């Protein structure tokens, strides 16, 4: 099972553009032959999961019950729940289980996930190891710009995605088993 991890906001609601986009990303990932992994809860995570299920895909939810005790479990579209004991363990597991990661729009949680995945591929690149592709919603590039010690070469480790069609192109460029 080849998984694509999708990071996104838990605040997206049905009817909002971000929710509709997340649903379309889930469908596109499943149609490309991948399973999806998300944080397993609501918002974009639920929309991605729903889209993937509609397209016949498998959905893995990496939850954090200790961190979010008010949540009653994963969304109804999750086939396999993998509970984690902390935020960092959850993010690490989401990255580890996938062949690539993509990030929708979102807030500080999504940004944290992007930065963790980006740092890991940066380290892999420095060590001459294979890197795990990371596609990010194009709006993130307005937040993450060259400067300080972020070089243009490091920024090139992020693939900007502005549409479902660009996501499909990104998925099509991934190695096949």
**3-172 in CATH: which number?**
3.40.50.450
CA distance 33 to 50: 16
Q: Where are the domains of the chain?
A: 3-172
Question: Strands, DSSP E only, in 27-139?
Answer: 35-38, 59-61, 80-81, 98-103, 134-137
Pseudo-torsion of CA 92, 95, 98, 100, nearest 10°?
-170
3-state secondary structure of 122: helix
Q: Which of 67, 22, 85, 9 is nearest to 49 (CA)?
A: 22
Give, in degrees to the nearest 5, the angle at Cα 119 between 173 and 137.
50
pLDDT digits over 148-168, tens only?
778 888 889 999 999 999 999
pTM over 0.85: yes
> What is the per-residue pLDDT for 177?
59
User: Which residues in the chain land under pLDDT 70?
Assistant: 146-147, 176-177
> What is the per-residue pLDDT for 8?
96
């Amino acid at each position: 099972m080849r998984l694509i991890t999708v990071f996104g906001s838990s605040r997206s609601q049905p009817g909002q553009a971000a929710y509709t986009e997340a649903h379309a990303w889930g469908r596109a990932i499943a149609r490309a032959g991948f399973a999806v992994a998300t944080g397993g809860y609501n918002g974009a995570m639920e929309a991605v999961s729903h889209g993937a299920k509609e397209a016949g895909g498998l959905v893995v939810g990496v939850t954090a019950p200790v961190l979010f005790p008010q949540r009653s479990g994963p969304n109804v579209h999750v086939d396999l729940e993998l509970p984690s004991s902390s935020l960092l363990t959850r993010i690490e597991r989401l990255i580890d289980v996938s062949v690539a990661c993509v990030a929708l729009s979102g807030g500080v949680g999504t940004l944290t996930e992007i930065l963790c995945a980006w740092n890991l591929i940066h380290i892999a690149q420095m060590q001459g190891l294979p890197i795990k592709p990371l596609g990010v919603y194009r709006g993130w590039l307005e937040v993450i710009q060259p400067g300080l010690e972020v070089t243009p070469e490091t920024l090139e480790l992020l693939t900007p995605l502005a549409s479902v069609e660009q996501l499909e192109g990104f998925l099509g460029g991934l190695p096949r088993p």
